[in-house]
Chain A
Amino acid sequence: MTEEVKYDPWYKYGVIALYVEMFLAIAFSIFALYMTLTGSGGISRH
């Protein structure tokens, strides 16, 4: 059974924002994984 709900206008933007945040989290995790595999990641060797 699905409940019918009417949301305020901000809600759809909130849902978009949460997808953006998830994308950032996944992208950051991939970057960290790249560091564990290559030993690089913006760290100066000097």
Chain B
Amino acid sequence: MILAATGFFWCFLLWFSTAAFSPSIRAEYSLDLTDMAILASSAIWMAPIGRIVAGWASDKFGARNTFVIILIYCGIFSIFSSFATDYKTLFILRVIVASAGVSFVVGVQHVSQWFEKEEIGVAMGLYAGTGNAGAGIGMFLLPRIYGTDYSSAFLHLGIIALVIAGIYFLRGVDAKDEETRLRAKSTANVRGTLFVWTRFAAIALMLGYGISFGLEIAMNAWLPGYYALGFASNLESLGYTTVKQIQIAVGTFAAVQSFNASLFRPFSGYMSDLFQRRNWMPYPLITKKLPYSPRIHWLVTALLVITVSMILLTLAGLSGILPLSVVVLAIFGIAISFGTGSTFAIVPLMFKDRPGTATGFIGGVSTSFGIIYPLIFGAKALANIHIGYAIAAIVIFIPVILFVLWAMRYDESPEDHGIGSKEYWLGENTEV
């Protein structure tokens, strides 16, 4: 878990290091609001398909090999990007580096191969939460260390990624035993993948993860630009006037979301374990008969809290009070952590023989939400830069929650229900 969390932490740092320097890049290349929205969105372009492939590869070839390959190529392209001399080259290279985010599913697969079901909530939370903190730490520290010199930052981040790849290769072990590793490997096939992709429960978890983790990564990339533009007069009156000062200030504010979403994530896993231990199941529509039903009830609680906090974020922005916006952002980050932690306390239990494939689908396709959010938030058709959060909550989040309630109503094997029967997709090999 320590290896996976370290590797993932650095990948997250690589992933969102572009966002940490977005005010500098904006100033150097004279980017407008739409350019900033595209730059924020582009950080996530590679994630959906990349995570699907990485999840399958970690089942097939082992988490260690897959993680090492990701760290090596992202490190090399980060080094290349430090020498870019025009915006087009820089943009393309940073999109490639941003694919470091696919490593999440590899780490989930790796951790799920090592821990028992009673401990999976905390184990997943510690892995993912610590790893996700890389984004916040990057936004907080990188502008302070490097100022506006993002090229040096990209160079050093790339070199260290190569060092971590070497350590991971030498010390990593795929699973706690050979039987576990071989079981995951044997299920990594096309029919098994299509089976997972067509399950209503997997689709519900994927959509739910889209409004938690998809939103988290979108906000990582979006928030520095949001605070620079949406609270420009507040920043000026506080004395943040140069590009460097504004970059440090907005990076710190944006990191509030990332820190809370990341560092509360283990607590969400713990809450999932607690719901399970205390058998808490407050919602009437969701099944109460599955061995892990309480964990599903915790997930729905989390999704409701996220939706409310998005509307609060819009209200705080419209008020124009910067401290209020930052306080609401902290609450919002905690709500996000509840959603992300609760989802991956369920996935390894529901799809125990296909952890990589299920994680690749749920953790991969859901990130496409992260591409959409910045484009909604930065849409010129909106009255102002604050209103997009409430619109996303009403138009996207509420329908998703209703689908989750519907998909999680089955009292037996919800993973069996979907488009096509289990026998149709798996034939004789009907292990889930």
Contact = CB atoms under 8 A, between A and B. Distances in A.
Do A and B bind?
yes
Interface of A: 1-3, 5-8, 11, 14-15, 17-19, 21-22, 24-26, 28-29, 31-33, 35-39, 41-43, 45
Nearest to A27: B259
Contact of B119 (A11, A21, A36): A11
Nearest to A39: B238
Interface string B103-119: 00000000000001011
Given A5-B118, A36-B322, 10 more contacts: A2-B278, A14-B122, A18-B122, A21-B129, A22-B263, A29-B327, A32-B253, A35-B253, A36-B238, A45-B239
B258 to A, nearest CB: 9
A18 B337 CA distance: 12
A43 B248 contact: yes
B289 interface: no
Contact of B255 (A6, A14, A15, A32): A32
Interface in B243-265: 245, 248-249, 252-253, 255-256, 259-260, 262-264
Q: Which of B255, B259, B278, B323 gathers most chain A CB within 10 Å?
A: B259
Contact of A18 (B125, B133, B260): B125
B123 interface: yes
A36 B240 contact: no
A21 B253 contact: no
Given A11-B119, A14-B122, A43 B245 contact: yes
B9 interface: no
B116 A8 contact: yes
B118 A7 contact: yes
A38 B279 CA distance: 46
B157 to A, nearest CB: 21
A22 B144 CA distance: 23
Nearest to A29: B330
B225 interface: no
Interface of B: 116, 118-119, 122-123, 125-126, 129-130, 133, 136, 140, 144, 234, 237-240, 245, 248-249, 252-253, 255-256, 259-260, 262-264, 266-267, 269-270, 276-279, 322-323, 326-327, 330, 333-334
Contacts of A25: 259-260, 262-264, 330, 333-334
Nearest to B325: A36
Contacts of A32: 252-253, 255-256, 326, 330
Contacts of B249: 35, 41, 43
A32 B119 CA distance: 33
Contacts of B253: 32, 35-36
B119 A28 contact: no
B123 A22 contact: no
Contacts of B323: 33, 36-37
Contacts of A19: 267
Given A32-B256, A32-B326, A14 B238 contact: no
A36 B322 CA distance: 6
24 contacts: A3-B277, A3-B279, A6-B118, A7-B118, A8-B119, A11-B119, A14-B266, A17-B126, A18-B125, A18-B126, A18-B129, A19-B267, A21-B133, A21-B266, A25-B259, A25-B260, A28-B256, A29-B327, A29-B330, A36-B234, A36-B253, A41-B248, A42-B144, A43-B248
